[in-house]
């Protein structure tokens, strides 16, 4: 048993070093403008070590250099899912979107919904989870201050501060839950076909509704066999073949 544990530990260390080495080699290849090699190595690192906002971001930069617009947008979007508050990722994503053909005006959102989403995306799951734990502990401390302090000033401080902390804790939990749901239930995709005709039904004989191009982001509403029902940011709905999109 001890020998088995030692072997498994050694294997885990080797795999970790290998993944780290892939990232280092990819960074070196990128700095030397060997973008094709860098792309391959970044993908290997993700396969070996799992998803990482930093590696997805670097992979997006690499694909951008290779003029792979759809791929760069896909990896920037994946990086943003893991690190929604990263402004560098957002900036580069917008730069990549400038290279797309489709310029779709998004449907207007209610200002409170937009504000709520912007606040949620300030941090990712781990940051919101830590915030929830810390504010809950501070809430407990304020309860202690409120119930056991003999001074009215301290009681008031404990009451109002505790109220503020429990509200922050509640919102932090909601934001963390929504961030996790977006990661687990990925319902958005990037079109990879250079040009595709969106159909009125999941069939090649369906009516042609409109045309979309590579790099456009869509929401997946339904799936039927090899077809996906999608909705654009502008609210247009139709069907597209599954092999023409890549889920974020």
Quote the pLDDT of residue 7: 47
- Give every CB contact of residue 165 below 8 A, 6+ residues apart in sequence: 135, 136, 138, 139, 142
Where are the chain's structural domains? 2-97, 111-184, 188-247
Torsion of the alpha carbons at 136, 142, 144 and 145, rounded to the nearest 10:
170
CATH topology identical between 2-97 and 188-247: no
| Tokens at 102, concatenated | 């489709």
Q: What is the mean pLDDT of residues 187-208?
A: 95
DSSP 3-state assignment of 239? strand
pLDDT over 70 (residue 240): yes
In a 13 Å sphere around the CA of 155, the CA atoms on its Cβ side amount to 6
Tell me: the pLDDT tens digits for 59-76?
999 999 999 999 999 999
Give the β-pairing of 188-191 and 208-213.
Answer: unpaired
- Cβ-in-10-Å burial (0-12, 13-18, 19+) of 226 comes to exposed
Q: In the CATH scheme, what is the homologous superfamily, with its name and number, of domain 188-247?
A: SH3 Domains (2.30.30.40)
Tell me: the pLDDT tens digits for 87-109?
999 999 999 999 999 988 887 77
Mean pLDDT, the chain, rounded, equals 89
Confidence of residue 182 (pLDDT cuts 50, 70, 90): confident
DSSP 3-state assignment of 210? strand
Tell me: the pLDDT tens digits for 25-59?
999 999 999 999 999 999 999 998 889 999 999 99
As a whole number of angstroms, the distance between CA 50 and CA 40 comes to: 15
Q: End-to-end CA distance of the chain: give it in Å, rounded.
A: 42
Q: Decide if domain 2-97 falls under CATH 1.25.40.10.
A: yes
Quote the pLDDT of residue 177: 93
CA distances from 179 to 88, 117, 122 (A): 19, 10, 11
């Amino acid at each position: 048993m001890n020998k088995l544990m030692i072997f498994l530990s050694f294997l885990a260390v080797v795999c970790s070093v290998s993944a780290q080495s892939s990232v280092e080699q990819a960074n070196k290849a990128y700095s030397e403008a060997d973008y094709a090699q860098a792309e391959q190595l970044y993908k290997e690192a993700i396969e070996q070590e799992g998803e990482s906002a930093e590696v997805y971001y670097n992979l997006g930069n690499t694909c951008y250099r290779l003029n792979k617009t759809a791929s760069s947008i896909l990896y920037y979007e994946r990086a943003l899912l893991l690190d929604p508050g990263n402004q560098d990722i957002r900036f580069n994503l917008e730069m990549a979107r400038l290279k797309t053909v489709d310029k779709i005006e998004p449907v207007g959102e209610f200002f409170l919904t937009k504000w709520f989403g912007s606040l949620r995306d300030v941090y990712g799951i781990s940051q919101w989870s830590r915030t929830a734990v810390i504010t809950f502990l501070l809430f407990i401390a304020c309860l202690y201050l409120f119930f056991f302090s003999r001074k009215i000033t301290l009681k008031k401080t404990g009451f109002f501060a505790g109220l503020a902390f429990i509200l922050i804790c509640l919102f932090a939990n909601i934001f963390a839950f929504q961030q996790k749901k977006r990661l687990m239930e990925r319902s958005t995709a990037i079109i990879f076909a250079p040009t595709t005709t969106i159909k009125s039904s999941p069939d090649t004989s369906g009516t042609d509704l409109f045309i979309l191009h590579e790099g456009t982001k869509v929401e997946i509403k339904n799936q039927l066999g090899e077809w996906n029902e999608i909705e654009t940011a502008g609210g247009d709905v139709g069907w597209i073949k599954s092999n023409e999109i890549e889920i974020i």
